[in-house]
Structure 1
Amino acid sequence: MRWPVVILGALGALALWFWAFGGADQIAGFAITAQRDVQNAMAAALRGLRAGEPGALATLWGLCFAYGFVHAVGPGHGKLVIGGYGAGTRVPARRLAGLALGASLAQSLTAVLLVYAAVFLFGWGRAQMTGVADDVLAPLSYALIGMVGLWLLLRGVRHLRPAHDHTHHGDSEVCSSCGHAHGPTLKQAETVRSWRDALIVIGTIAVRPCTGALFLLILTWRLDIVWAGIAGALIMGLGTASITVLVAFAAVGFRESALQLVSHSAVARTLAWVEILAGGTVLILASQLVLRSI
């Protein structure tokens, strides 16, 4: 049995457990409980830091990384964007991992900007900031993710339509019938640079700040240890990135495994269908998230 078939079968079984047998709810429950426990531990570490206890800062930042990790383990929109984009677009794994890292850190910076803009310009407290993040920014972020899914779906349809109706003779990179390449080579994929795509991916994730980062930044502001909170929020982003980067590599592995199952002549058409499937999946899931958040 070929390894791509094994990989695709394992991913299919995982998806079935995740969506049909309550796997998503089990993971979400674990993540919520773990986040609450880590938040309590962070509050204790902050009190120790304020009191000058040795090792309190290292403990706080370690907890920040742990919070970002368990936050990312639960079903979330960051993994949805990275996974959908990576599966539907032939972007190299390292570049997609870089986008995942950049998006997680940008999400932390959004939390910093929201907290200090709210504090100094509007005089808001934790409840108001969390309300804006959950009631306004969350639906907006999910709606933008839905647009990303629609964008991938329509792009896949557009790529599928001009896929040549004639037979591609031979397995060379250029079609002997029309003189066109039916799919990008690995070297070509490595040189693709689209700032528009990168901004879309990062922006849809960064729009909604992490609630844990808001919690940390507000407490550190009140305790007058602002620098520890900002650094902690960024470390929290690194914890989140540890999961989203893995999702990036998994998405690329799924995509390339699928492409290994087809001949070179069918790569362009297969990529278009993968893009349509990824876009449709992202659109459906994002729509569900929007409905849950309003």
Structure 2
Amino acid sequence: MSKYLIVPVAIACGLLLWFWGSGGFDSLAAWAAGEQREFQNQIARALRAARAEQPQAVATLLTVCFAYGFFHAIGPGHGKVLIGGYGLGRQVAFWRLSAISVLSSLGQAVTAVVLVYAGVLIFQLSRETLVGTTEQVMAPISYAAIAAIGLWLVFRGMRSFARRSRSDAAHGHSHDHEHHHDHHHDEHDHHHHHHHDEVCSDCGHRHGPSAEEVANVGSLREALVLIAGIAARPCTGALFVLILTWQMGIAMVGVAGAFAMALGTATVTTLVGWTSFGLRGGLLASASATRFASILAPTIELVAGLMIVVIASGLLLRAI
């Protein structure tokens, strides 16, 4: 059945390349920016209604904030490239990728809340200074962190190719001497049985973590780095709402609005993550019966890492 996936995957990749090459993403970003401006006006009206304590005003504000976050996330930023590249390049569980997408967006809201209230309460900064800090300091840090993660994916892909090359060379060497090892198979199996669970045969206790536990720790570390890299740059819309609501005396409404925006952006980044997850699975399934199966996974990881590095570096150069 895997061979039947080749055509739809190829068509999907071709359509994406055509849409990108024809400027479709620029048009999409322009449309999203127009929708953002409309929602900004609606947010301002909803804030005035909330200050006047009109019925349903808070619910309306949260709905508009969610919609603003959704359309804002369609434009540049908010970790779509990182989430998509990570989901495409790494073998990661579906639920883990979804959790990273949601937590990174919520992390942006947390960063916005901390930045605004530390700025206005401790340092007494103006709105312009806070936004400038976000764009001139925190945005470059976030882009640099994202580029570093891309480089790490590139390194992993190249390391996989190097390991495969060494493995092929070792296999070719040992194949010539295979007849010398036949009588040791039972003994080898016996020893392997005792070390799969990392339990010492002498004392019955474990002296170190299993390979699965080490992999899980690495995955958790990866997830935390991804979330921190995206959350380092808060959404400017959230800053706008938080500052206005603080000035209007309805600070908690602003905090709720910032997290509603975060859920809106999380919807987009999660959809991007799901798409990359499905695309990776389709590509690997399509090639499973071909001679390219063993090299496709590191190739995808390498290409995804390069894509993240190029895009994040471009954003970094534009921000500094």
Q: Say whether residues 1:51 and 2:52 are aligned partners.
A: yes
Secondary structure, counterpart of 2:53 in structure 1: coil
The aligned counterpart of 1:253 is: 278
Could you list the runs of 5+ residues in structure 1 that have no partner in the other structure?
168-178, 180-187
The aligned counterpart of 1:175 is: none
The aligned counterpart of 2:42 is: 41
The structure having more radius of gyration, on CA atoms, is 2
Distance 1:283 1:292 in 2: 14
Contact map agreement 1:24 1:75 (CA 8 A) in 2 = no
Secondary structure, counterpart of 2:44 in structure 1: helix
Contact map agreement 2:142 2:232 (CA 8 A) in 1 = yes
Letter in 1 for 2:143: Y
Distance 1:58 1:259 in 2: 45
Instruction: Work out the number of aligned pairs and report it.
Output: 274
**How far off is 1:118 after superposition?**
0.4
**How far off is 1:258 after superposition?**
0.9
The aligned counterpart of 1:79 is: 80
The aligned counterpart of 1:224 is: 249
Secondary structure, counterpart of 1:219 in structure 2: helix
1:106-145 to 2 correspondences below 5 Å: 106-145=107-146
Cα distance change on mapping 1:269 and 1:205 into 2, 3 Å = same
**How far off is 1:76 after superposition?**
2.2
Cα distance change on mapping 1:4 and 1:237 into 2, 3 Å = farther
The aligned counterpart of 2:202 is: none
1:50-199 to 2 correspondences below 5 Å: 50-163=51-164, 164-165=167-168, 192=216, 194-199=219-224
1:193-249 Cα deviation digits (max 9, x unpaired)? 522101111011000000000000001101111111111111111111111111111
Distance 1:162 1:216 in 2: 51
The aligned counterpart of 2:300 is: 274
Contact map agreement 1:8 1:257 (CA 8 A) in 2 = no
Secondary structure, counterpart of 2:79 in structure 1: helix
Pairwise CA RMSD: 2.1
Letter in 2 for 1:273: T
Q: 1:12 aligns with which of 14, 39, 60?
A: 14
Distance 2:66 2:273 in 1: 19
Could you list the runs of 5+ residues in structure 2 that have no partner in the other structure?
173-188, 190-211
Secondary structure, counterpart of 2:92 in structure 1: coil
Out of 29-38 and 93-102, give the one that drifted further. 29-38
Moved over 6 A (4+): none
Secondary structure, counterpart of 1:99 in structure 2: helix
Contact map agreement 2:154 2:302 (CA 8 A) in 1 = yes
Distance 1:33 1:137 in 2: 25
**How far off is 1:9 after superposition?**
2.1
Contact map agreement 1:27 1:75 (CA 8 A) in 2 = no
Contact map agreement 2:103 2:227 (CA 8 A) in 1 = yes
The aligned counterpart of 1:183 is: none
Given the two structures, how large is their TM-score scaled by the length of structure 1?
0.88
Seq. identity, %? 45
Distance 1:203 1:110 in 2: 10
Contact map agreement 1:77 1:142 (CA 8 A) in 2 = no
Secondary structure, counterpart of 1:150 in structure 2: helix
**How far off is 1:7 after superposition?**
2.5
**How far off is 1:29 after superposition?**
1.1
**How far off is 1:87 after superposition?**
0.6
Letter in 2 for 1:42: I
Which gives a bigger RCO, structure 1 or 2 (Cα 8 Å, sep 6+)? 2
**How far off is 1:287 after superposition?**
1.1
Contact map agreement 1:143 1:287 (CA 8 A) in 2 = yes
**How far off is 1:268 after superposition?**
4.4
Distance 1:247 1:159 in 2: 26
Letter in 1 for 2:29: A
